[in-house]
Amino acid sequence: MIPEKQLTIKDKFAFFRNQKYIYLDNAATTQVPDLVIKAVVESLSYKGNPHRSAHHLAKRNGKFITEARENIAGFIGATASEIVFTNNATDSINLASEAIGEEFRKDDEILLSLAEHNSHILPYYNLGKKGVKIKIIQLKDGVVDIEDLKVKLSKKTKLVAISHCSNVLGTINPVEEIGRMLSHYNPTILYSIDGAQAVAHLPVNVKSLNASFYSFSSHKMYGPDGIGVLYINKVIHTLLKPVRVGGGTISQLAVNYAADEDILYPDFYPTLQVLEGGTPNVANIIGLSKAVNFLKSIGIEIIRKHDLKLLQLLMNGLKQYKEVEIVGGINIDNRIGVISFSLKNASVKELGDYLGQQNICIRYGAHCAFLLLDKLQKETLRISLGVYNDTEDINKCLQSIGTFLNSKDKAVESTITKQLKNIPYYIKEAKMHTIDNLITYIKNELSGKRDINVIVMGGHFLGIPDIKKNTFYPSIKTLLPPELYPLLRTHGMTEFPLVTWEMGCSIVSALKEINISAELIIVINDTTGINELLSSPANATRKTVEQYRNDLIKEFSKELPIEYVDILKKYNLSTNDILSYRNLLFFQESILRSHFKNFVRKNKSFLKGAVEYTLNSGKISLNFNILINQDIKTCNIGTFGSKTGGKYCIAAVGELLAELFGVFEKSPYNYMPENICKPKSNYKNNMLVMLSPAMCNNAVNNSAELYIKLFSQGKKEGLFTFLNVPLGPEPKKSLQQGVDVTLITDK
Nearest in space to 90 (alpha carbons), one of 121, 125, 122, 119:
119
The span from the CA of 45 to the CA of 61, in Å, is 12
H helices of 386-540, in order, are 391-410, 415-421, 435-446, 486-490, 496-513, 530-534
Cβ-contact 491, 475 below 8 angstroms: yes
Q: Which of helix, strand or coil describes residue 25?
A: strand
CA distance 491 to 118: 20
Q: Rounded to whole angstroms, how far apart are CA atoms 146 and 329?
A: 18
SS3 of residue 180 by DSSP = helix
Please state, in angstroms and rounded to a whole number, the distance separating the CA atoms of residues 196 and 219: 9
DSSP letter at 165 equals B
474: CB partners within 8 A, 6+ apart = 461, 463, 464, 480, 497, 524, 552, 553, 555, 556
C-beta atoms surrounding 222 within 10 Å: 28
C-beta of residue 355 within 8 angstroms of C-beta of residue 399: no
Q: Which residues contact 393 (CB under 8 A, 6 or more apart)?
A: 22, 23, 24
Q: How many Cβ atoms from other residues are within 10 Å of residue 642's Cβ? A: 20
Can you tell me whether residue 261 is helix, strand or coil?
A: coil
CA dihedral 369, 371, 373, 374 (to 10 degrees): 150
CB 272 within 8 A of CB 82: yes
Please check whether residue 172 is in contact with residue 193, taking contact to mean a CB–CB distance below 8 angstroms.
Answer: no
Active centre residues (catalytic):
368
Largest CA distance in the chain: 92
HSE value, Cβ hemisphere, 13 Å, CA-based, for 112: 21
Residue type, 102: E
DSSP 111-158: EEETT--GGGTHHHHGGGGGT-EEEEEPEETTEE-HHHHHHH--TTEE
Distance CA 47, CA 402 (A): 51
3-class DSSP state for residue 474?
A: strand
- Residues 6+ away with beta carbon under 8 Å from 342: 324, 325, 327, 348, 376, 378, 379, 380, 381
CA distances from 746 to 70, 266, 453, 459, 546 (A): 64, 71, 16, 26, 37
> Between 697-707 and 646-661, two packed helices, what is the crossing angle to 10 degrees?
40
DSSP states of 351-397: HHHHHHHTTEE-EEE-TT-HHHHHHHTS-EEEEE--TT--HHHHHHH
Chain centroid to Cα 216, Å, comes to 21
Alpha helices by DSSP H, listed for 7-133, are 8-11, 14-18, 34-45, 56-75, 89-100, 122-125
Q: Judging by DSSP bridges, how do beta strands 720-727 and 739-745 pair with one another?
A: antiparallel
| Inter-CA distances, 474 with 241, 384, 458, 485, 595, Å | 42, 47, 14, 11, 23
3-state secondary structure labels for all residues of 192-211: EEECCCCCCCCCCCHHHHCC
Which residues, listed in sequence order, are joined to residue 171 by a DSSP beta bridge?
Answer: 335
What DSSP letter does each residue of 673-707 carry, written as one string?
-HHHHS-S---SEEEEEEEEEGGGHHHHHHHHHHH
